[in-house]
Amino acid sequence: MSYRLSLLDKSPIADGESASHALHRTLQLAQQAEAWGYHRFWLAEHHNTDRLASPSPELLIAWIIGQTQHIRVGSGGVMLQHYSPYKVAENFNLLASLAPGRIDLGVGKAPGGLPLSTRALQQGIHQDEKGSFAEQLSLLDSWLDVPPVGDEEILRATPQPPRPANRFLLGASEQSARLAAELGWQLVFAAHHNGDPLLMEQVLNSYRHYSNGKQALVAVQVVVADSPAEADLLVDNLRVYHVSVKDGPSVNVGSVEQAERYVRQGGYTDYVIEPRTPSLLKGTAAQVHAKLDALHQNFGIEEFVIDTPIAEEQARVKSLELLATHRLVAA
């Protein structure tokens, strides 16, 4: 098996537990992931929800790098539309100065929440000055690369780290593939949100073409258990609903209630809510690795970022341990 495994954590809050407990589980999981051999540990960004405890991946990265030894730690990702690219560059140059060679900056285009939180995050921002997402990403890239010239008349994102953060663009479109390639960023195809194999093939081929042969990472949802039946039980309640808005942004959410809140908060009147089958790999460790190996062989994927979308602590930790240790034994 010649592919790497990395891990995406959303700090899920299980029924009856506090956000504090969920965040300490995230730290423990990072330490366990390091011991199991995962290559990266990424933190997601979500806003205004009682189900996830991580609105600020930068803060969690700083906490985790101080209590792990060598695993790469990063964002999966920072939702750039809400923030000044200059401030994001400062944050990640500071993190990369604290832990040179261990920091990943992953950037996403999604809002990470519903319209109420998006409006609050962007309050006071002049939309006409912000520019397109591509322009924001280009600015961020330029500030991460400014040489350490000691001239206060030149805008630099200080401190200048000895080894800058690795840069990743999260997306699931050919537009994202082209943008990542143009800037020299690595693409992470979001198959955990859209696992359509035809779309994945198109996007991966586009990225490979425009980047002169680089391979994208692929994020996938994975649930592993001791038996196929047990895995089926763990994912039985998982749901995905796609909200299509005419002349507006579309999103995937986890319930009809969330979908209705999205259109209500956004003031949308012309929309469609439709259920979709979750993009998920499930089964025993051997079964899941067979599916990962098939993706590796078919598309040349060299690294998978694993998202395990269950909040129950023991089942989630066991799923990730089974996936990692089976691979180590088999290798």
Strands 303-307 and 240-245: unpaired
**Among the listed ranges 17-21, 146-150, 166-170, 254-258, which one has the minimum average pLDDT value?**
146-150
- Comparing C-alpha atoms, which of 7, 176, 164 is closest to residue 91? 164
Reported as a pLDDT band with limits 50, 70 and 90, residue 130 is confident
Q: Among all chains, which residue has been given the structure tokens 């299980």?
A: 14
First-to-last alpha carbon distance for the chain, in angstroms, is 6
Is the pTM higher than 0.75? The answer reads yes
- Cα gap 314→300, rounded to integer Å: 33
CB atoms within 10 A of CB 75: 30
The one-letter code for the residue type at 116 is L
- With beta carbons less than 8 A apart as the criterion, state whether 107 and 140 touch: yes
- Cα gap 143→147, rounded to integer Å: 9
- With beta carbons less than 8 A apart as the criterion, state whether 191 and 219 touch: yes
> Bridge-partner residues for 219, per DSSP?
190, 305
Mean pLDDT rounded to a whole number for the chain: 92
pLDDT, residue 239, reads 85
E-assigned strand segments in 44-109: 72-75, 78-79, 103-108
- Comparing C-alpha atoms, which of 38, 29, 37, 19 is closest to residue 67? 29
Q: With 60 as the cut, is the pLDDT of residue 331 above it?
A: no
What letters, b where the CB count within 10 A reaches 16 and e where it falls short, cover 35-51? ebebbbbbbbbbbbbee
pLDDT tens by residue, 234-254: 998 888 888 999 877 788 888
pLDDT, residue 247, reads 77
Tell the burial category of 189 from Cβ atoms under 10 Å away from its Cβ (0-12, 13-18, 19+).
buried
pLDDT, residue 329, reads 46
pLDDT, residue 150, reads 62
**DSSP at 293:** H
210 vs 127, which has greater pLDDT? 210
pLDDT tens by residue, 77-124: 999 999 999 999 999 999 999 999 999 999 999 889 888 999 999 988
